[in-house]
Amino acid sequence: MLRPLRTMVRRALEAAGLVAIPASQWRELRNHRTVRAIHRRDVIEIEELYRSFVFPDLPRDPQRVDILHNLEGTTVGEGVHIVHYLHRALRQPGDVCEFGCNEGATSRLLANEILPHAERRLWLFDSFEGLPAPGEKDRLIDDIAHLGDIARYQGDMRATEEQVRDKLALVPFPPERTRVVKGWIEQTLARPEVPRQVAFAYVDLDFHDPIRLALDFLDRSMQPGGYAVVDDYGFFSEGAQLAVDAFVAAHPSRWRLLMPHPAAGKFCVLERLAAV
Ligand SMILES: C[S@@+](CC[C@H](N)C(=O)[O-])C[C@H]1O[C@@H](n2cnc3c(N)ncnc32)[C@H](O)[C@@H]1O
């Protein structure tokens, strides 16, 4: 959801007195060879710095930089937090989930890190119809696509299952270890075909009600030592933070909220402390 490079370039151009880039030209600019080369160098440096000074236990991975470089709307800092907490969570048994996988840019990151752990499956949930209508607790705090009203985001961020499978094929991650669960999680999480035990989850659903639903699912399926990273805490819709705060307040002995350094991005980490 975060669009750090876009924001950075827009601010730089605005500061230079140049007009802001229209959304239609953004993709072209972002894919410009020079912009991508600068970004890649930054990714190498950021990943190395995190491993050297913040997360010294994080194993080196030869593919990680390229995957971090191709994240969509997720900061490199958030990507490194995701892999760090994923590796910690892998000390426990259980599968890995992403709630709201969109095109699979972050799914590819998760898949690459769990590739050597043959017993782990990757569960990817998405409507593939984009965002639902916002709920009562969703108020726009960052109008990321300049739509002017949160209701206009319904249907935004639509992706396809094929895009996700193509991203996983780049790893390459075995299809037999992948479960792409298509549909609204309000329905899919109520089905019997859900992971019995989850070690790590990335929750990226943007709006209050589905986030709370995913967290309640994790309360039932995650054991102590597991972690969830929740995107958009304090960003885009107020609902994401409200959902996390109310969830932690309801189960203070079972979950601890860990806040990253603000420069890393707008997300939070939930640590599973105790079983139900
Ligand atoms: C911000 S995108 C996810 C981005 C992705 N995690 C990544 O890092 O590239 C949010 C996704 O959540 C999905 N989504 C939102 N609410 C949902 C719900 N209730 N059930 C299923 N999918 C939902 C949307 O379709 C969209 O693809």
Average pLDDT value for residue range 55-75: 96
Q: Is residue 205 part of a domain?
A: yes
| CATH number for the domain harbouring residue 96 | 3.40.50.150
Q: Looking at the 3D structure of the chain, how many domains does it have?
A: 1
Q: Is residue 44 part of a domain?
A: no
DSSP string of 237-267, one letter each residue: BHHHHHHHHHHHHH-TTTEEEEPPPGGG-SE
> Angle at Cα 209 formed by Cα 208 and Cα 212, nearest 5°?
85
Q: Is residue 206 part of a domain?
A: yes
Tell me which residue range forms the domain holding 76.
66-272
Q: Which residues line ligand 1 (CB under 6 A)?
A: 1, 72, 74, 98, 100-102, 105-106, 125-127, 130-132, 157, 159, 184-186, 204-206, 210
Q: Is residue 258 part of a domain?
A: yes
| Ligand 1 site-directed mutation target among 67, 110, 125, 131, most atoms within 8 Å of CB | 131
Q: Is residue 123 part of a domain?
A: yes
Ligand 1, atom nearest to 186 Cα: 19
**Cβ-based neighbour number of residue 142 at 10 Å:** 16
Q: Is residue 1 part of a domain?
A: no
What is the residue-averaged pLDDT of the chain? Answer: 93
Side-chain-facing half-sphere of 65: CA atoms under 13 Å = 17
Indicate the pLDDT class of residue 167, thresholds 50, 70 and 90.
very high
Structure confidence at residue 29 (pLDDT): 74
Average pLDDT value for residue range 39-65: 96
Q: Is residue 26 part of a domain?
A: no
Q: pLDDT per residue over 169-206, tens digit each? A: 999 999 999 999 999 999 999 999 999 999 999 999 99
Q: pLDDT per residue over 11-40, tens digit each? A: 666 666 555 666 667 677 777 888 888 899
Does the pLDDT of residue 2 top 50, yes or no?
no
The CA 216 to ligand 1 mean position distance, Å, reads 17
